[in-house]
Amino acid sequence: MHVLKVSPGSSNYNVYIGPGVLGEIPVRLKRSIAGKRLFVVTNPAIFELHGFNLKEELQREGFEVGILMVPEGEEFKSLETAGRLYTELASQNAERSTPILALGGGVIGDLAGFVAATYMRGMPLIQIPTTLLAQVDSSIGGKTAVNHDQLKNQIGAFHQPSAVFSDTFVLKTLPPGQISNGLAEVIKSAIISDPQLFSLLEHRMGNMLALEQKTMDAVIIRAAGVKARIVNNDERDKRRRNILNLGHTTGHALETVTRYKINHGTAVAIGMIIAARISLKMGLFSQRDLGRITSVITAAGLPTSIPDASVADILAAVRHDKKISAGRLKFILPVGIGKVIISDRVSLEMVAQALEEQA
């Protein structure tokens, strides 16, 4: 088991990574929390695959376990669901000190995290991410959120977990496509600041897609490490944390214009290629490294061509993106494999050109 230390702002916690980490949870919680009660927020499919065992093992250690079930789907990451969870917590006399365990992907992590952040102004939160995306990205850093009307992830709070347990073995039950989806964020982490992770992906993508345990563990430890280092320096959204948005400006625009028909990983993958193309045009990036990025994305099973959407619509969505400040785009550009800059010299015309070249 690998232990990663995260210490954003005044808090600090461990991220435990490895196969079988789920089995460590009961004993570690027994040592670290005072009470006997806890709540697990999850969905029925994840509960059946991994939650049932966890519940039994927690009970064996003497815990009283309440299961709070949320239906499957991003549409349930909402204020309505949060409201229902508050009601259940209140009816079961949950206290401010009762921990919430978020067992699931980013949807469960964000929703349970939001409830833990707000119920009685903050309950302890334990993240148990079960998707690749959640293990390398959403479970670390303390961002929690729900969606509301057109506002995706815009109603939220910062609430750091007291621990993160990333059992890499549970990824074996993921539905097809979810590994590729998470790999987009892994590739992003490599381009931002880990050239060794990038070459690991270049050499071992086949093993990764075959869910070979050693490769999965090595990749997840490195990618989670990148996220941890960045949030350590910068708990809230300013300055360096922005670099985590590589590929996300164009990516969010693509998600909007396709009405979320393409998944987040696909959108980010294309967004990263657009950023690399812009950087190439500005003389900051090499054709060879653009080729390397494109190859790794393809090897990860992610598409590289723009989905059926007009460049004009994509640009309109980029313009509305929250990252435009004072009329200027704030764009994250790769300047090598493992290094990015935040640039305000990118114009919408440059984005349009890159989109046309990639189409």
Could you list the residues that contact ligand NAD (CB under 6 A)?
43, 45-46, 49, 72, 74, 77, 104-108, 110, 130-131, 133-134, 137-138, 141, 143, 153, 170, 173-175, 178, 181
**Encoding tokens for residue 253?**
């625009």
Least CB distance from residue 72 to ligand NAD, whole Å?
A: 5
Please name the helix (run of DSSP H) or strand (run of DSSP E) that holds residue 70, with its range, or none: none
Whichever of 104 and 124 has its CB closer to ligand NAD, that residue is 104
Please name the helix (run of DSSP H) or strand (run of DSSP E) that holds residue 60, with its range, or none: helix 52-60
Whichever of 122 and 291 has its CB closer to ligand NAD, that residue is 122
CA–CA separation, 46 and 139 (whole Å): 16
CB atoms within 10 A of CB 97: 12
Strand pairing report for 13-18 and 2-6: antiparallel
Least CB distance from residue 134 to ligand NAD, whole Å?
A: 4
Least CB distance from residue 106 to ligand NAD, whole Å?
A: 2
Whose tokens are 């099973």? That residue is 301
Whichever of 24 and 202 has its CB closer to ligand NAD, that residue is 24
Least CB distance from residue 137 to ligand NAD, whole Å?
A: 5
Whose tokens are 């987009």? That residue is 184
Extended strands (E) in 163-311: 163-167
Q: CB neighbours of 280 closer than 8 A, spacing ≥ 6? A: 286, 287, 290
Least CB distance from residue 18 to ligand NAD, whole Å?
A: 15
CA–CA separation, 188 and 256 (whole Å): 20
Least CB distance from residue 26 to ligand NAD, whole Å?
A: 19
**Encoding tokens for residue 295?**
């190859």
Whichever of 55 and 77 has its CB closer to ligand NAD, that residue is 77
Residue nearest to ligand NAD (CB): 106
